């Protein structure tokens, strides 16, 4: 009886080929059929891959799934390689639904999201005590609609750390909605283009300046907008409880 392997949805990471997981890299090496998002996954990740490789950039859902299901039916190890982490704007649910309907097993292997790589590039923690303990990952409505209750102006009312994907081409509108929702003009903001790629660019400013900075830099896509007080150059010196010597927990007694 032919051995069958689950179809693997693998997160490629944000761009740096070393930011794919060990498991993801192993599955790439073992794959017989690889379908990858060529518009965003760097070619260097395919070095050493012996699988038959298909670039899904120009394919629709039917064409992608035909490749995946045919290869699986032939007993091949199939990897569907997505940029960043497949669970964030990865459009994997519609693919999973097709697999489930066909009785084809699958697994999802997480990757480093570009949102988290952005925090690393900015050298900041997204959750600082008494500054922000919440991170909102979202996008502005464009060709893909967003529920009204999740509009940027509505989310801005929380004043939390916000990472806005797929929206830099509408930066002026993004800023206007954030300001109307409650952020102040002096709120720190940054834009990271092609995070972790060799050509990565970082802009830092405030909501009052960031739109002009983006326009002058000519950044129109493949960039993340970060907003919040955690981006301040000198964030408030509020210490966490984790390493406070007066704070006891299961592994440490409080200092007297």
User: Token pair of 69, please?
Assistant: 């299901």
Read off the pLDDT of each residue in 11-37 and give the average, rounded to a whole number.
Answer: 96
Model pLDDT, residue 193:
98
Q: Per-residue pLDDT tens for 175-228?
A: 999 999 999 999 999 999 999 999 999 999 999 999 999 999 999 999 999 999
Give percent of the chain with pLDDT exceeding 70: 91
Q: Per-residue pLDDT tens for 56-66?
A: 999 999 999 99
CATH number of 7-109: 3.40.1010.10
Whether pLDDT at 256 is above 90 = no
Model pLDDT, residue 94:
97
- The phi and psi torsions of 123 (rounded to 5 degrees) equal 65, 40
Q: Per-residue pLDDT tens for 225-239?
A: 999 999 997 755 566
Flag whether the pTM goes above 0.75: yes
Give the number of other Cβ atoms within 10 Å of residue 135's Cβ. Answer: 16
Q: Per-residue pLDDT tens for 112-163?
A: 999 999 999 999 999 988 899 999 999 998 888 899 899 999 999 999 999 9
Look up tokens 């997480």; give the residue: 110
Question: How is the beta sheet containing 223-227 ordered, strand by strand?
Answer: 135-139, 161-165, 223-227, 188-193, 201-206
Q: Residues spanned by CATH 3.40.1010.10 within the chain?
A: 7-109
d(CA 161, CA 132): 6
Model pLDDT, residue 129:
87
User: Token pair of 101, please?
Assistant: 């309907």
Model pLDDT, residue 103:
96
Whether pLDDT at 3 is above 90 = no
223-227/188-193 β-pairing: antiparallel
Q: Residues spanned by CATH 3.30.950.10 within the chain?
A: 114-231
Chain-wide mean pLDDT for the chain? Answer: 92
Q: Which CATH number fits domain 114-231: 3.20.20.140, 3.30.950.10, 3.40.50.1470, 3.90.1150.10?
A: 3.30.950.10
Question: How is the beta sheet containing 52-55 ordered, strand by strand?
Answer: 52-55, 33-36, 78-82, 7-11, 106-109
Smallest Cα–Cα separation from 223: which of 166, 182, 181? 166
Look up tokens 């390493």; give the residue: 243
């Amino acid at each position: 009886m032919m051995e069958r392997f689950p179809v693997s949805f693998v997160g490629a990471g944000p761009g740096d080929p070393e930011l794919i997981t060990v498991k993801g890299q192993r599955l790439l090496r073992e794959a017989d059929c690889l379908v990858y998002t060529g518009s965003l996954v760097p070619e260097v990740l395919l070095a050493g891959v012996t699988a038959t490789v298909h670039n899904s950039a120009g394919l629709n859902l039917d064409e992608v799934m035909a490749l995946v299901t045919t290869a699986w039916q032939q007993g091949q190890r199939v990897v569907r390689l997505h940029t960043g982490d497949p669970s964030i704007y990865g459009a994997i649910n519609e693919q999973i639904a097709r697999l489930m309907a066909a009785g084809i097993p699958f697994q999802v292997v997480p990757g480093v999201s570009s949102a988290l790589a952005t925090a690393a590039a900015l050298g900041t923690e997204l959750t600082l005590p008494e500054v922000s303990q919440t991170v909102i990952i979202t996008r502005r409505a464009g060709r893909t609609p967003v529920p009204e209750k999740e509009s940027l102006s509505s989310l801005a009312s929380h004043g939390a750390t916000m990472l806005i994907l797929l929206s830099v081409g509408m930066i002026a509108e993004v800023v206007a909605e954030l300001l109307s929702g409650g952020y102040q003009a002096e709120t720190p903001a940054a834009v990271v283009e092609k995070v972790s790629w060799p050509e990565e660019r970082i802009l830092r400013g405030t909501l009052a300046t960031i739109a002009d900075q983006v326009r002058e830099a000519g950044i129109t896509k493949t960039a993340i907008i970060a907003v919040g007080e955690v981006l301040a150059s000198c964030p408030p010196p509020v210490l966490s409880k984790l390493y406070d010597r007066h704070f006891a927990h299961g592994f440490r007694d409080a200092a007297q």
